[in-house]
Amino acid sequence: MTITLWHFLAVATVLFGLGWVGFLTRRNLITMFLCAEMMLQGVAINFVAFAFYHGNLQGQAFVLFLLAVAACEAGIALALFVSLYRRQRSLDSSDWQHLREPGIPVAVDEEPLPAAPDERFPTLPPAGVRPASALGPEEVARV
């Protein structure tokens, strides 16, 4: 069986579709960013597949620039997520509606997130006290 252009397009479509569905259904900013990156990779596969099909290197060259820009974007997004989390202790996209431009109404969430349980997470007991070394300081210095 030979791999044709349609096989590449099918994989790219599946990647793009999964990213699209994930972006629209998730509320965590990091998950939304990863889904956007998945869509970008689907587009990159399309560029490479069509470049291979047409026998030129323009698609591969464009994908190299696309990957470089995506790497820079990932670094900036991570810095943004860290600063947003430090500010409000949440990465839920509905908690950040106050960042909209003035005059745009706030979207009301039909299905709010469930409240966090009040009880703390269970903690593991300590593993024990570190045993005293059988060797004295002079013996440790020799080893």
Q: What percent of the chain has pLDDT over 90?
A: 45
Tens digit of pLDDT for each residue in 78-88? 998 888 888 88
Given pLDDT bands bounded at 50, 70 and 90, which one contains residue 123? Answer: low
In a domain, 139, yes or no: no
Are the CB atoms for 44 and 66 separated by under 8 Å?
Answer: yes
In a domain, 122, yes or no: no
Query: Which structural domain, as residue segments, surrounds residue 60?
Result: 5-96
Counting the structural domains of the chain, the total is 1
Contacts of 17 (CB under 8 A, 6+ apart): 42
pLDDT at res. 139: 55
CA–CA dist 3, 1 (Å, integer): 7
In a domain, 123, yes or no: no
Given pLDDT bands bounded at 50, 70 and 90, which one contains residue 93? Answer: confident
Are the CB atoms for 16 and 43 separated by under 8 Å?
Answer: yes
Stated pTM of the model: 0.67
- Of 92 and 135, the structure prediction assigns the larger pLDDT to 92
In a domain, 10, yes or no: yes
In a domain, 135, yes or no: no
For 7-127, strand residue ranges (E) read none
Tens digit of pLDDT for each residue in 35-46? 999 999 999 999
Tens digit of pLDDT for each residue in 98-119? 777 888 887 777 776 666 666 6
In a domain, 26, yes or no: yes
In a domain, 110, yes or no: no
pLDDT at res. 6: 94
Identify the CATH number of the domain in which residue 81 sits: 1.10.287.3510
CA–CA dist 48, 5 (Å, integer): 10
For residue 138, pLDDT over 70 is answered with no
| One-letter amino acid of 76 | I
In a domain, 140, yes or no: no
